[in-house]
Structure 1
Amino acid sequence: MDNVEKTEQLPEFLQTEFDPRDPNPWLALYLDQSTPLPDHVKQAWLTDSASPSRQFLLPFVRPIARTLIVLIQIFKVVVPRKWAASKFLHWILAAGLKYCVRPEANWLVLRHFHMGAQILEFIAANSPVKVETSPLKPITLDDLKDELFLKHDLNLFNFVIRLSKALRDADKKLQPVAQPDFSMIKEPEVTLEAMPRGRLNGIDLQTAIEMFTPTYQLFLTDNDFWRASNSLQLDETIGLYVATILNSPQHLVLLNNKHPLVPMSTLRAGYRLVLHGLSTEMLHALLMELKKQQGFTSAQQ
């Protein structure tokens, strides 16, 4: 009985037999090991990507959302520059995720805050200067109501500024570390089983992000929205910090949001946000693997 229940919980691409005449593309991506994602994360990511919502709803939502971004930008010209409703925005985002979005997508969203915080803590711990971090680690979707999306963007820019200023003031640079401190790198304390599974929880991650992007723009100041969009360009910056510490620049090939000095249009912010989430997952997985290897090496010694 337990085996039957376990099989029923597997996504379709893991239940069907492999047919060389009709290979399943999701199965190919799941079995491929060229990217550093653990199986449980890859399964959740591909289950969400293979959903009917992404196949049939996303193609209609994406052009509408991008049109709304243009219209809201025009609307922002005539409203007071400081007008915003961040608290209300985060209530909408948290409620939308809780009642309309797939459990796999919600799990990936909550994981992202934990992993982002851990990566910044890793850089800080292995930096030659002391730098402050402000980790955000929500456990439930309701925790997001405390303006966590906005705070996440602020934390990223504040960290880069504080680290860069401290390095400049001390006339130092990030350097490779022979034995990096991985103590803060661990599996995020959120579980897929705890995510809501109501009748309406059917919207995939990419479609939800495309829907939420113009909403995010509408209820934030123009400056806050532009900063949030441009924060995606810092993937390259954070990647370079980690690659320097690990002395492994080859891992930068996994990044897609480049170059930090060339800001991109906000029209593709939703798509780039998905790439940001995936690159964060991959970087965290890489650090988890290196931590495991370091522990094995220490045990041998």
Structure 2
Amino acid sequence: MPEPDFLRRGHDPADPSPWLALYLDRSTPLPDHVKRAWLKDSSSASRQYLLPFLRPLARVLIIVIQIVKTFLPRKWSHSRVLHRLLAWGLSRFVSPEANWLILRHFHLGAQILSFIGRNSPAPIETTPLEPMCIADLKDDLFVKHDVNLFNFVIRLNQALQAQGLEMGPPDEVDYGMLREPPLRLQDMPRGRLNVIDIQSAIEVFTPVYQLLLTDNDFWRAANSLQLDETIGIYAAQLLGAPEHLILVNNHHPLIPLSTLRAGHRLVLHGLSTEMLHALLMSRKTGHPPASVTGGHDDAGQDDEAAATAQAQ
């Protein structure tokens, strides 16, 4: 895979690259192949020139659609159409890095919930969603992802309350469910139009999501982003490690925010999930969550092999 521009050009002291600085910085816990893909997508022309126009337009559409939906039936919903449209848009127009990160998110979220559910003082089973390709998203996976999260929080706390228990570190932490997702960047669609970055794609899809779901489904999806702190706190309690709340910043879960910034908050949610998973993997392997490996950009092959070897 070709290297990102900021790695090919290297460091010019007279004109330092902000992307190279972010890539080399180790203060945030991200695996090298994930950070490389994330910054390649973030430094794209799409994000620089397209996102500033799409974001305000998308927020205006959210307001307009909210007004329009006051005149539509309360049960107005076309989830299957929505997911087919999202899968089509992702496969035709969204960058390989963005698609790879989106698919990874389902796997990482499933593993984190499984980690908490299995290590809880009152263990509960989880329902993993692990799409292997974009076509798998057609099975209402975005809605199921949000529903799963709320069901998990409800069932976990019901189990704890029923047994009079509180979250805390177990005698032995089980990391067995944590692994590098079996997804390869080189398998993502690479047509001539696959250039839209992840932030622009999310801004475009948010009003479509709102239009084709009920108000209840859309508000639940937006409010699910408030649970980043909740999941971070659960992990910190199990590990006795408050540093696992690093960069979880969707604000207090008891204060729902406006849906106007749902697209931006969804990007923060995805990055928070990546960082929490990286921290848990570092606990499992005993290695730092990120290391500079130099120039090659296979985005996961070498890291995946290393993670497998460490797990064994």
TM bucket normalised to smaller: over 0.9
Counterpart among 151, 155, 160 of residue 162 in structure 1: 155
Residue 274 of structure 1 aligns with which residue? Answer: 267
For 1:219 and 1:56, the matched residues in 2 are separated by 28
Residue 3 of structure 1 aligns with which residue? Answer: none
1:84 and 2:77 are equivalent in the alignment:
yes
Q: Which amino acid is the alignment partner of residue 144 of structure 1?
A: L
1:177 Cα offset (Å)? 2.5
1:18 and 2:18 are equivalent in the alignment:
no
Are 2:118 and 2:125, in contact at CA under 8 Å, matched by a contact in 1? no
Query: What SS class does the counterpart of residue 29 from structure 2 fall into?
Result: coil
4+ runs of 1 displaced by more than 3 Å? Answer: none
Q: Which amino acid is the alignment partner of residue 134 of structure 1?
A: T
Counterpart among 116, 122, 142 of residue 149 in structure 1: 142
- Counting only pairs closer than 5 Å after superposition, residues 30-179 of structure 1 correspond to structure 2 as 30-179=23-172
Deviates further, 170-179 or 262-271: 170-179
Residue 177 of structure 2 aligns with which residue? Answer: 184
Counterpart among 185, 199, 202 of residue 206 in structure 1: 199
For 2:227 and 2:27, the matched residues in 1 are separated by 24
Query: What SS class does the counterpart of residue 254 from structure 1 fall into?
Result: coil
Aligned residues: 288
Residue 216 of structure 2 aligns with which residue? Answer: 223
Residue 253 of structure 1 aligns with which residue? Answer: 246
For 2:264 and 2:94, the matched residues in 1 are separated by 17
Are 1:132 and 1:162, in contact at CA under 8 Å, matched by a contact in 2? no
For 2:22 and 2:215, the matched residues in 1 are separated by 38
Provide the identity percentage: 65
In the superposition, the TM-score normalised over structure 1's length comes to 0.94
Query: What SS class does the counterpart of residue 239 from structure 1 fall into?
Result: helix
Residue 194 of structure 1 aligns with which residue? Answer: 187
1:12 Cα offset (Å)? 0.5
Q: Which amino acid is the alignment partner of residue 242 of structure 1?
A: A
Are 2:95 and 2:196, in contact at CA under 8 Å, matched by a contact in 1? yes
Q: Deviations over 1:98-148 (max 9, x none)?
A: 010000000000000000000000001101113121100000000000000
For 2:55 and 2:158, the matched residues in 1 are separated by 39
For 1:258 and 1:104, the matched residues in 2 are separated by 27
For 2:285 and 2:243, the matched residues in 1 are separated by 20
- Counting only pairs closer than 5 Å after superposition, residues 275-294 of structure 1 correspond to structure 2 as 275-293=268-286
For 2:51 and 2:29, the matched residues in 1 are separated by 27
1:176 Cα offset (Å)? 1.3
For 2:36 and 2:104, the matched residues in 1 are separated by 15
In structure 1, stretches of 5+ residues that fail to align are: 1-5
For 2:143 and 2:133, the matched residues in 1 are separated by 17
Q: Which amino acid is the alignment partner of residue 237 of structure 1?
A: T
